[in-house]
């Protein structure tokens, strides 16, 4: 990861945060599109839910958070929310694929 910019004012900090927020939204969008693609490779809703995979991801991001010096509980909660929403999207994609 690149070094954090040293800001000289609150306005500059907020500008940098806004830029990072835009990048985060873009990355989440890309992840969401990949999740939709994943539905095409699965054979059942249970496979879509992939509880073992979800647990693996949550543990991995917790470890990454610890390495980066941020609260692993916060990261785990954020990913849990994101994953739950994306699983619902993937289930909808999976079910829609069956209609054609």
**CA torsion angle 75 66 54 17 (round to 10):** 30
CA distances from 6 to 20, 26, 65 (A): 14, 24, 22
Report residue 97 as tokens.
């694929």
Q: What is the pLDDT of residue 98?
A: 58
CA distances from 41 to 18, 37, 45, 84 (A): 36, 8, 11, 19
pLDDT tens series, the chain, 100 aa: 568 889 999 999 999 999 999 999 999 999 999 988 888 898 888 888 889 999 999 999 999 999 999 999 999 999 999 999 999 988 888 788 654 3
Q: What is the pLDDT of residue 1?
A: 54
Structural domains in the chain, CATH included, are: 10-97 (1.20.59.10)
Q: What is the pLDDT of residue 63?
A: 98
Q: Which residues of 27-53 are buried (b: 16+ CB within 10 A; e: fewer)?
A: eeeeeeeebeebbeebeeeeebebeee
């Amino acid at each position: 990861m690149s070094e954090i910019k040293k800001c000289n004012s609150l306005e500059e900090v907020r500008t940098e945060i806004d830029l990072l927020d835009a990048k985060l939204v873009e990355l989440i969008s890309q992840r969401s599109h990949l999740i939709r693609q994943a539905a095409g490779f699965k054979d059942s809703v249970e496979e879509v839910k992939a509880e073992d995979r979800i647990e693996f991801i949550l543990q991995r991001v917790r470890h990454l958070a610890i390495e980066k010096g941020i609260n692993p509980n916060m990261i785990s909660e954020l990913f849990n929310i994101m994953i739950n929403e994306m699983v619902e999207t993937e289930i909808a994609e999976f079910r829609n694929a069956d209609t054609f």
